[in-house]
Structure 1
Amino acid sequence: MAGKYLVFTCLFLAFLLSFTWYHLKDRDWGRYTAFPCQTENTGSNSIISHERLKDSPLHRMLYEKPDLLKLPRTDVMIATPWQAPIVWDGTYNLDILNELFHLRGARIGLSVFVIRKYKVFINDFLQSAEEFFMAGHKVHYYVFTDDVSGIPNITLKEGRNMEVVKISGYKRWQDITMRRMQLIRDYISQKLINEVDYLVCLDADLKFMDHIGVEILGDVFGVIHPGFFGESRTAFTHERRNYSAGYIPEDEGDFYYTGCFFGGTVEEVYKLTNFCHNAMMEDKAKNIEALWHDESYLNKYFLYHKPTKLLSPEYAWNDYYGSPVVVKRKRLVHVPKDYNAVRD
């Protein structure tokens, strides 16, 4: 009897091994044991080989050893309570980050909406972006506009390109700024998901004044509003009506985020814009709008879906707020303008 059980057990194990081998023999097990990246030529998943690591400048990059007993900045908060880094000047090594993102072959998209009179800003926006935005990396500009002829044909650096997308104009500036959430969401699912890995979303009335690079990139990031970074919760201009989808109680809120600059991986930006659009539609059905439109819904999203990286006010400065000592570099600034004129 024992012999029969032994034979049966052996046959069963042989069958199990054969079955497992048949179904798993074509699996790419290498992708589970090595770091996946985007190849620079195809954008498809590949494995970083030992030879490629040796060819990377990181292999013999010499830099000062990090000191666990010395903080890079002591005058500002550099991490949130949920351990997301807050990016200030002096808190990162851009040379290291550049090589890490080059190794991954990161493809970066930038979306900007140029509707009606805001076309007066787009030339300076693009020219300054070419000088200061993601230097040395692949960048794809997506310019959404109601006037294709109003978009300048500027000379782009190698590895950078621009696509102008025709969209409808709107009578109210509030509709323009809120509709972009739906348009970004839809364009991601239709096109961007196959073209870029990260998407940075910016307003057109901004100008790059200093370098902004891959230090900003992460799963999903927001920018701390320059007018509120030293204020209490009660000073935040959140939507306070509890029947709005953008409602945030006065005793909640981590930071106040500006609506002019946000981004992350295309998958996470899709989730963010989808939430904001649906919240707007929920309020529209009630015939209401949140106090600061898309910015209010963005703040609601970040309250309950914490950003994985925060950018300091250096990244969306407005000279109206002066020059506080902690803001050592004004990287992206709001262009002075007559709001009544450009929004008319």
Structure 2
Amino acid sequence: MLLIVIVLNLVFNLNLFYSRGCITMEKIGGMFSGAMFLILGFLSMHSWYSSNISFLESLPSFNEATLGATVNLDDTLSFGARPEVNTRTSWNAPIVWELMFNPDLYDRQHQEAKTTVALTVFAVGRYLDAYLNTFLTSAEKHFMVGLPVTFYVFTDQPEKVPNITLAPLRHLKVIEVERYSRWQDISMMRMKTISEIIEKELRHNFNYVFCLDVDQEFKGRFGSEALGESVAVLHVHYYKLPKTQFTYDRNPKSKAYMTEGDYYYHAAVFGGSCDKVKALADYCYLSTMEDKLNDVEALWHDESHLNKYFWLNKPSRILSSEYCFDPLIPYKTEVIVPRLVWAPKQYTKLRT
């Protein structure tokens, strides 16, 4: 029904513009064809998702009734332990740096609360061969060690996913997804897929979900101190810069348009409770689709929309650039423990 309303509204407005001489018939045809393509894409994706998801391993038998209680240890954080960096936002959310938290306390409390975590990662096309094995093996070594974790790998080549050795209570699930020709479309559809898997499965089985890019490698502890209701990470290239240099989308025609903000966040890492992450994913996907209908593309695609979302909906926890670090940057003294680092970029090879 919603799709019918959208089509009728589009036809009405295009006819109005044509009658006023504001648009040519050729342009109308192009816009209508594009809209129909997007609508058919919605329908085909929904049909595919409902009937063709293939799981290679089954989950442990969690359910909403047995999910652990929420743990909040923010009152134990030592905000003065790192005077050289900002450790708290204007809305009183912590910015997590090394030396601020007691890792043993966090792990013990989350283990007692039976906290469960899902991690999603997309490895489509050449990204699988280039990055996935390193990502998974390093994640198993450093990500939420001691907690029940399920790694969700979304790929167009499920048969090529490496069979890594996992500790007890840690699982790997592989979900086959379609490969799109443009990496921008892959990025856009990631948000839709994250929303759908949360609604279909994750919210029934996990307290938290983290969504990460595959072209990264864990180098140190990425633990329970990172868990929170709504979690963003500071982009390592911008956290020391003035806000005037943040690369927000400045195009008023885009849904990602911003004139001001708090921080510049990196879309390579975000997480939180299932409900909060679904809300973020829905916002980014729907905003991107609206831009697409208006023949607009945000400057940094889903990252631009993510920054707009976190400006409107402040994160309850911000991770420092330790949690998404570029080893090539010249300033490194503030990052005592690089926990997750960027892998060498191969964009020319991977995005063609």
Q: TM-score, normalising length from structure 1? A: 0.80
Q: CA RMSD in A?
A: 2.0
Q: Does 1:301 align with 2:309?
A: yes
Q: For the structure 1 residues 208 and 263, does the alpha-carbon distance in structure 2 shift closer, same or farther, using more than 3 Å as the test?
A: same
Q: For the structure 1 residues 190 and 92, does the alpha-carbon distance in structure 2 shift closer, same or farther, using more than 3 Å as the test?
A: same
Give 1:168's aligned residue. Answer: 178
Q: For the structure 1 residues 218 and 67, does the alpha-carbon distance in structure 2 shift closer, same or farther, using more than 3 Å as the test?
A: closer
Q: For the structure 1 residues 148 and 67, does the alpha-carbon distance in structure 2 shift closer, same or farther, using more than 3 Å as the test?
A: closer
CA contact (8 A) 2:239 2:263 kept: yes
Give 2:122's aligned residue. Answer: 113
Q: Does 1:101 align with 2:104?
A: no
**Uncovered stretches (5+) of structure 2, i.e. residues with no partner:** 1-59, 69-75
Amino acid aligned to 2:85: V
Q: TM-score, normalising length from structure 2? A: 0.78
**Deviation digits for residues 169-194 of structure 1, max 9, x if unmatched?**
01011111111000000111111111
Give 1:338's aligned residue. Answer: 346
Q: 1:111-190 counterparts in 2 under 5 A?
A: 111-119=120-128, 120-190=130-200
CA contact (8 A) 1:43 1:105 kept: no
Which of the numbers 305, 322, 326 marks the counterpart of 1:314?
322
Q: Secondary structure at the match of 2:266?
A: strand
CA contact (8 A) 2:96 2:226 kept: yes
Q: Does 1:284 align with 2:292?
A: yes
CA contact (8 A) 2:228 2:273 kept: yes
Deviation at 1:102, TM superposition (A): 1.2
Q: For the structure 1 residues 153 and 46, does the alpha-carbon distance in structure 2 shift closer, same or farther, using more than 3 Å as the test?
A: closer
Q: State the alpha-carbon separation in 1 of the partners of residues 159 and 331 from structure 2.
A: 38
Give 1:327's aligned residue. Answer: 335
Amino acid aligned to 1:268: K
CA contact (8 A) 2:117 2:206 kept: yes
Deviation at 1:337, TM superposition (A): 2.6
Q: State the alpha-carbon separation in 2 of the partners of residues 212 and 138 from structure 1.
A: 14
Give 1:33's aligned residue. Answer: none
**Uncovered stretches (5+) of structure 1, i.e. residues with no partner:** 1-39, 49-65
Q: Secondary structure at the match of 2:328?
A: helix
Give 2:253's aligned residue. Answer: 243
CA contact (8 A) 2:64 2:205 kept: no
CA contact (8 A) 1:116 1:146 kept: yes
Q: State the alpha-carbon separation in 1 of the partners of residues 255 and 61 from structure 2.
A: 43
CA contact (8 A) 1:117 1:342 kept: yes
Give 1:74's aligned residue. Answer: 83
Q: State the alpha-carbon separation in 1 of the partners of residues 256 and 290 from structure 2.
A: 10
Q: State the alpha-carbon separation in 2 of the partners of residues 336 and 321 from structure 1.
A: 13
Give 1:211's aligned residue. Answer: 221
CA contact (8 A) 2:253 2:296 kept: no
Q: Secondary structure at the match of 2:269?
A: strand
Deviation at 1:272, TM superposition (A): 0.5
Q: For the structure 1 residues 67 and 154, does the alpha-carbon distance in structure 2 shift closer, same or farther, using more than 3 Å as the test?
A: closer
Q: State the alpha-carbon separation in 1 of the partners of residues 67 and 201 from structure 2.
A: 25
Deviation at 1:317, TM superposition (A): 0.5
Amino acid aligned to 1:248: M
Q: For the structure 1 residues 47 and 339, does the alpha-carbon distance in structure 2 shift closer, same or farther, using more than 3 Å as the test?
A: closer
| 4+ residue segments displaced more than 6 Å | none
CA contact (8 A) 2:64 2:204 kept: no
Q: For the structure 1 residues 47 and 240, does the alpha-carbon distance in structure 2 shift closer, same or farther, using more than 3 Å as the test?
A: closer
Choose between structure 1 and 2: higher strand proportion: 1
Percentage identity across paired residues of the two chains: 38
Larger C-alpha radius of gyration, 1 or 2?
Answer: 1
Deviation at 1:339, TM superposition (A): 1.1
Q: Secondary structure at the match of 2:267?
A: strand
Deviation at 1:202, TM superposition (A): 0.2
Deviation at 1:322, TM superposition (A): 2.8
